Structures are given as C-alpha cells and as structure tokens.
Structure 1
Amino acid sequence: MKVYIEERCKEIAKYIIKTRCTCKDCARKFGISETTVHQDMRKRLPKIDNKLYLQVSNILDLNKAEAFLRGGLATKEKYEINKI
C-alpha cells in the first residue's frame, strides 16, 4: 500500500474519532468520495492500525444505526416547515 494512502487513512480515522462524524461529513471535509472514506476505514485501516480501526468501527456502526433516525427527523422538519 502506498504511503500517502496509509497517511490518509490514519488522518481520517483520527478525525472521525475526534468529531464522531459520519462518512458523508468526513468525505466533504477531506474532499474525497464517501466510497473512498468507507474503503479506507473498513478495508485498509485494519491492515494499517487495528487498534485505531476498532475505535473507528464502533463510531461508524453507531452512525449507521442512527442514520434512519436522522433521516426521519429531517423529513419531519421538512414537512413542518411546509405547513406554515
């Protein structure tokens, strides 16, 4: 694996741990695609730093579990705004 990819993986992982952000937010911050963030965190990071991977994995799993709640709240807000 190329050095710049390893560095990017570590940098993204530390950012996710610090901010507890979603893959989408992280992709915007780093100017890369969501797919790249996901690939870096789920496939590349375990090979680079397993301890860091376990921390990131917990956060990403929590974000995934909460995704439908965030979507539901966004839809609710959308329709409440349109009522007025």
Structure 2
Amino acid sequence: MTNVKIYRVEGVMLISADKLPTWQRFSVEVRALNEKHALEYIYSVLGSRHKVKRANIKILKIEEIPLEKAESKYVRDLSTLTRMVIK
C-alpha cells in the first residue's frame, strides 16, 4: 500500500490578469504521494476553479505536515478512513 502524505501549499496567483490584475494569496492542503504530485494538483485545481494560467501561479512554500496540524476537515476525514464501501 502506498504512503499518502499531507502537504500544505502556499503561494500567490494573479487574478483577472487582463482587467485589473491582483495578486491573491492562497494556502491549500492536499493529499499526495510526493511534492511533485501535490504541485501538479494545485496547478490543476486553481486553473480549473479560477481560470488562472500556470504562469500566473507562484508557489512560495510546500511543506509536509502531520495529520494533527491539518486545518482542512476534508483532508483530515480522508486521512482517517480505514475502508471504503462502493455500491
């Protein structure tokens, strides 16, 4: 079984680059196998939710955090699952 870790990714993204450019800070917690996968997931999610190009996303810090320090309820709940039932 693979060892999934929790990462906190912090950075800034350029919102509405053509009209009124504004740098917006973000901090997202994700579950991933390694930092590279976490970074790819962040680019994908921010691009799809906010229509931000990868060039307009600047990552400031990626850190692995323990389960106790995770602030996201979704990430904590996923990490504590022992089994999953699919119908």
TM-score (structure 2 length as normaliser) = 0.27
User: Which protein has the bigger strand share?
Assistant: 2
TM-score (structure 1 length as normaliser) = 0.28
User: Which protein has the bigger helix share?
Assistant: 1
